[in-house]
Every structure is written in structure tokens, then in C-alpha cells.
Structure 1
Amino acid sequence: MLSFLKKNKVALIGGLISTLFIGLGIFLLGNVSGYEAKQLLEGSVRGINMLCNTVVLASATILALLLTLLGISSGSQSKLKKAHYFQVLSIAKIDTILFIAALILFQLFNIPITESENVPVSWFTTIYWVTLLSSSVISGMLVTVILLLYSTVKNIITIVGLGQDHPLISSEEEEEIEDEN
């Protein structure tokens, strides 16, 4: 886990900055009362549903494109180290978590809670803040996945497209050492 954090520091920091930036915008809205939160929630549900729908579609597309990336990786003339495949696996894991989270949020936001008369008005403040916080988290996660994907694609272009030396290219000596272990 620690090596994953070190290797993908730029992507994780980018996602965290995005989450914090969006969260700061939410924080600047200030404290809202239950009735105000209900009104704001009614206005923002459509946009949040669109965000979740977009994230679900994007993450599903990224998962499908990772299969293409694996095909290019295995078909290249250069033998790639296991680290490349672990990088692709990490992207797939984070993207799958993002897909599931966005899909669940999409379903939750489709519950007509603002039309219910059984929900106390005081709850709308909490629901509003949780909604905005969750949308900023999935946005930050999508930025992280895109930055991780960019790094992987850049490596593949360097290795396969440009034929340049790269630390992810495995040499015969390294393969023999891995086979002995």
C-alpha cells in the first residue's frame, strides 16, 4: 500500500486537490437551515444525477479501455515488468470502486426525498451536506483515475510507440532473477 502511494503520488494529490477545491466551494456556501437545504437539494439533484451518470459511464468506459491497454501491453515487442500490470490493476480497482460508488449515489439521488412529508425538515441540512460532500469525493476520485491512466498511457507510448528505454521494460537478466525467486 505504501509503495502504491509513493508511485502514484501525483495522481493521488491531484484527486485530493480536486476534492478539497470542490469541498471548499461547498464550505463557502455557509450554514443553511433545513428549509433552505431542502430548496437547494431540489435544485441540485438534477445536476448531481448528471454527475453520477457521467462518472458511471466514464468509469465503465475506462474499465473497457484497460482491456485494450492490456492487449497492447502483451502484444508489444518489449517485455514489460510486473510493475506495469500492477499499475493497470490499481487503476482497475480504483475505477471499480468509483463505478460502484457513483452508481449507488445515482440510485440514492433518485429517491424523491424532497417530496416526502415524513422526513423532518431538520434532516435536509445533513442530507444536503452529505450529497455535496459525496459528489466532491467522486469527482476527486475520477480525477485520480484519469491521472493514473494518463501516467500508464504515457509509459506505453514511450515503450511501444517510441521504442525508448524505460524502467518498466524487463531485461532478460531481470527475468532470470524473477524466475529463480
Structure 2
Amino acid sequence: MISALAEAVMSVLMASLRLLILPLRAPMLLLLAGIAVYEGLHWGLSGPAIVIGGGQVAAPGVEGMDADILYHVFWSIDCLHALLVVVVCTMPELLMRRLSELMAASRVVTLVLTLLLVTVGGLYLLHLKVLGNMLILASAVLLARLDLARLRIVPPAQNLALAFATVVLLGAAAGRWLAAVV
């Protein structure tokens, strides 16, 4: 009984050790975390740029709005963008399969859906000037996936998306904290 308990404890310790040295074996995970911190720092420093003295917002037509609330809304939107990038880049086969099934229904649906996605998505990203940041984050996520695949570590897509989303959001929160300290 004691040997079974010792064996279970050793198994847990070895699994924890493998998890702790994973960033050393797959350095693109460290790159992903670094880019997430940079993005959070960028979001944290660019947020106060819309604020002028007295807590007012430097945007026309929004004079009475509380700048702190607007800052948190922008932070939430940036986090949603990051989550969307992580989900699309970690589960492309699942998303593309569903989209293919929908588009296989009709050529008209295919054309309308493609035009809608490209036009609305492109205009949205260009208008918000986040296209560059999202492309950098997407590249980091895809490189981290590739690095894990090189090590033959292929968890289910949902688990990988959750792990990458955790790394990205914690890194962005650390960057935002750094921006507040600076």
C-alpha cells in the first residue's frame, strides 16, 4: 500500500516536472508569453492616450463619459480580440469543417458568406488599427502549436485553446500591470 502511494506521488511529481520544463523544450511558448506581455503593455499604454485632464475622454461627442469605464471597455474588447485569435489559430480544422458544411449547402451561400466575412472583418480590423497586433499574436500562437507538434505533444484542440488563452490573457494582464507601474 505504501509503495502504491509512493508510486502515485512520484508519478504526479514527474508529470509536474515535465510540465514545468515544457517552456524549455518548446521555446515558442515563451515567445507567446512574451508577445502577450508586450500586447498587454501596448494596450495598457495606449488606453490612457484617449484621456485628457479631469478624467474626460478626448473623443468628440463623448464629453461626459467616465474615462475609466471607457478604458475598461477597450481592455475587454482587446481581450476578446486576443481570445478570438487564439481560438481561430488553435482550432482551425474544427472551425473550417463547420464553415465548409455551411458553405457546401449552396454556391450563393458560399459567395455571400465569404464576401461578408472578408469585407466586415477587414474593415473592422483596419478601422481599429489592430490588424498588425492580431497578426503578430496569431503568428506566435501558430508557432507555439508547431513547436508542441514538433515535440509530439498534441492535446485536444479545446484544451490547447484553453491553455493558450490562459497564457495570452495572463501575459496581457501582466503587461497591463507593467503599464500601470510605469
TM-score normalized by the length of structure 1:
0.28
TM-score normalized by the length of structure 2:
0.28
